[in-house]
Structure 1
Amino acid sequence: MPDTLPETLQAVLRDYLAHLGVERGLSGNTLAAYRRDLTRYAHHLARLGRARLADVLEADVTAYVSVLRQGSDGGTPLSPSSTARALAAVRGWHRFAQAEGLTDADPSAEVHAPQQLRRLPHALSVDDVARLLAAAGTGDGPVPLRDRALLELLYSTGGRISEVVGLDVDAVGWLGRDDAEEPEHAVVRLLGKGSKERVVPVGSYARTALDAYLVRGRPALAAAGRGTPALFLNTRGARLSRQSAWAVLRRAAERAGIDAPVSPHTLRHSFATHLLAGGADVRVVQELLGHASVTTTQIYTMVTPEALREVYAATHPRALG
């Protein structure tokens, strides 16, 4: 990189960063990222002999995308996602310059970031989920009963961790229950993104675990607190935090001997994957997950290479020799 930048570029860069900090209120860390990305871009322009943003061509911006991917300027080669982030900073700078009357056009407007590979969500096998849930809450004390009910409910409903730890006791509904009968159906009201509520069925395993926790576990935990309506409580009688719920899952995964990374979202992915593998309609799964768009849910319908190989080997008449 050149040791110095043309003062014309430096001045516009200072003005833009000041705009981001003062008028848009970006944090210090975000501003530092913008400064880093745009300084690298400014050096790229200086090497091309562009002393002003008004001199920049679309080809210059396109070439910069290649520079970022390859690291041909001596900098670190960037992934598609990091390149897209850096290009977004460049576009913002050019839009700012055009709005301020410093340039007549935006040379970055038609430059596209490299296509990012869409990764399949990680999901556990049905057997691994069974082992995980069996390893949760071993014992009959209040905490083991809570842990088993928590993980059973996460997998049974596909709820986000924030939705499940945010539940109050009255969010669990028992349909068909009267004084003489056990419940035929159980549902839970989850409050999702944008405060959108959805009602999700609760399976029999989760229902049994919840029943045991509500009868024998929660009252003991609640005795240490001040009467919170929260469904899942910590040992002080307060609402269980997301961090503590993560710890519950990690301990269960370790006891189950599951080596793959496991997070609360892994159970959500597994819930969706297993439903679709069992023949559930994607729009039903969309409603259960609380996705605003079916496009988000459709990522679970993507077939893994392993599944393709298995189906090919089992069905193609000349797959095996």
Structure 2
Amino acid sequence: MTKRINLKHLLINGQRQIGLQFYPDKVIQALLKELPNIKWSTEFQMAYLPNQGKNLNLIFEKFRGVAWVNGQHFFGNSQGKETEPQDMELLRKKYRSYTNIPKDYIDTLERQHYAFNTAKIYLSHFALFLDHFSRMKITDITDLEINQYLNHLTRQQRSKSYINSSVNAIKFYFEVVMGMPNRFYSVARPRKDEKLPKVLAKEDILKMIKMTTNLKHKCIISLLYSAGLRRSELLALKPQDIDSKRMVITVKGAKGNKDRNTLLSKNVLEDLRKYFKEYRPETYLFEGDKAGKYSERSVGAIVKQAAKRAGIKTPVNPHMLRHSFATHLLEAGTDLRYIQALLGHSSSKTTEIYTHVATHQITTIKNLLDD
């Protein structure tokens, strides 16, 4: 497979940068180190250097004859905002250049109605996997080679969730696409960390909402918390999903392609009515400048800034509001089965983790030093 580097526009600490996105490759990594002021972004998972004409020329000169430098996104978008495909057909076109990905892989993802984000993750991981074994036929790859690949990811200090996603993407091909159930008996997943979800105090969340003056941003934060929504679910909402008569929000095609109803707050409904009159969204409840879906990155930035204004010292992300929703309902005496339904969890075991962070029972125990 031809070595390939995609140039991306990045904005880091208010400064424009040239992002270099590529599959892990020793030759490319060695040449990158020779570029001046080259750095690595953990957030964007790519190398970058200042967006200057001389640096752009250096990149093309450095990798001439070694890798194809793809500037389609970089030169085709003067605003520096990459537009991600949002349906399977566009995703298919994006990965058309990865000729080693079997056509059946994408077809099966689409036929089984996998969520767009899940399909995108699977394709990304599977492309990297195949690129690693570019000199082998896919049918010749054994459990031993797969375990060696997982060890390779571990040496790269990839997270356990990243490695698990790679395993899922690989298993999907052999077990679902190729119809070989339980193909990988000896492929070892990394041991799962039993970490408790991070939860905010209710008063801190209310302070975040109160100190957010932008109506659109206020509605976003309020819905994430009051309805227990995932970020992707929030961005997929359409105006007709807000049912003011029954006071519920319909979440369609959520994780696992399941629909569910969740709570609609009376206070949030009032703000949403004001928001609708002011912004007049066309397709999605929250839209960007060009009437498309609002970006996930923007939602993250909104939550982060609101937490900063509220004086919260710990890092806050949108999913913490969902964790807080579940925990606060449990502390208020809501039955765990109802919380499971509101969150859209398939298994009660997933919801039970909130029993470990809820404090309503712990606070009734008298501390030994307070006796």
TM-score strictly above 0.5: yes
Is the 2:101–2:130 Cα contact (8 Å) retained in structure 1? no
Evaluate the alpha carbon distance shift between residue 84 and residue 134 of structure 1 in structure 2; reply closer, same or farther with a 3 A threshold: closer
Distance 2:185 2:348 in 1: 29
Aligned pair 1:266/2:320, yes or no?
A: yes
Distance 2:226 2:167 in 1: 41
Question: TM-score scaled by structure 2?
Answer: 0.51
What is aligned with 2:247?
186
Is the 1:135–1:255 Cα contact (8 Å) retained in structure 2? yes
> Matched residue of 1:276: which SS?
helix
Q: What is the root-mean-square deviation in Å for CA atoms of aligned residues?
A: 4.8
Distance 2:193 2:132 in 1: 25
Evaluate the alpha carbon distance shift between residue 292 and residue 80 of structure 1 in structure 2; reply closer, same or farther with a 3 A threshold: closer
What is aligned with 1:207?
269
Is the 2:250–2:260 Cα contact (8 Å) retained in structure 1? yes
What is aligned with 1:221?
279
1:169-196 alpha-carbon deviations (Å, 9 max, x no partner): 1211122xxxxxxxxx622111122442
What is aligned with 2:225?
155
Distance 2:131 2:221 in 1: 43
Which range moved further: 144-153 or 21-30? 21-30
1:270-318 alpha-carbon deviations (Å, 9 max, x no partner): 10111111111111001101112212111111248xx59x9489425x4
More helix by percentage? 1
How many residue pairs get matched?
246
Distance 1:88 1:289 in 2: 23
Distance 1:78 1:200 in 2: 35
Evaluate the alpha carbon distance shift between residue 81 and residue 212 of structure 1 in structure 2; reply closer, same or farther with a 3 A threshold: closer
Q: CA deviation at 1:233?
A: 3.2
Letter in 1 for 2:208: L
Is the 1:221–1:234 Cα contact (8 Å) retained in structure 2? no
Is the 1:152–1:205 Cα contact (8 Å) retained in structure 2? no
Q: CA deviation at 1:35?
A: 8.6
Alignment equivalent of 2:199, drawn from 113, 123, 130: 123
> Matched residue of 1:249: which SS?
helix
> Matched residue of 2:198: which SS?
coil
Aligned pair 1:231/2:285, yes or no?
A: yes
Distance 2:345 2:270 in 1: 28
1:46-67 alpha-carbon deviations (Å, 9 max, x no partner): xxxxxxxxxxxxxxxxxx9xxx
Q: CA deviation at 1:156?
A: 0.9
More strand by percentage? 2
Is the 2:197–2:357 Cα contact (8 Å) retained in structure 1? no
What is aligned with 1:315?
366
Evaluate the alpha carbon distance shift between residue 205 and residue 82 of structure 1 in structure 2; reply closer, same or farther with a 3 A threshold: closer
1:86-137 alpha-carbon deviations (Å, 9 max, x no partner): 9999x9xxx9xxxxxxxxxx9x94786674331111111111111111122x
Q: CA deviation at 1:221?
A: 2.8
Alignment equivalent of 1:145, drawn from 215, 218, 230: 215
Evaluate the alpha carbon distance shift between residue 111 and residue 130 of structure 1 in structure 2; reply closer, same or farther with a 3 A threshold: same
Q: CA deviation at 1:205?
A: 2.4
Q: For structure 1, which runs of at least 5 residues remain unmatched after alignment?
A: 1-19, 38-63, 96-105, 139-143, 176-184
What is aligned with 2:240?
170
What is aligned with 1:284?
338
Is the 1:84–1:113 Cα contact (8 Å) retained in structure 2? yes
Higher RCO, 1 vs 2 (CA within 8 Å, ≥6 residues apart): 1
Identity %: 30
Find the structure with the greater CA-based Rg: 1
Letter in 2 for 1:210: L
Is the 1:250–1:263 Cα contact (8 Å) retained in structure 2? yes
* Equivalent residues in 2 for 1:92-131, closer than 5 Å: 109=185, 115-131=191-207
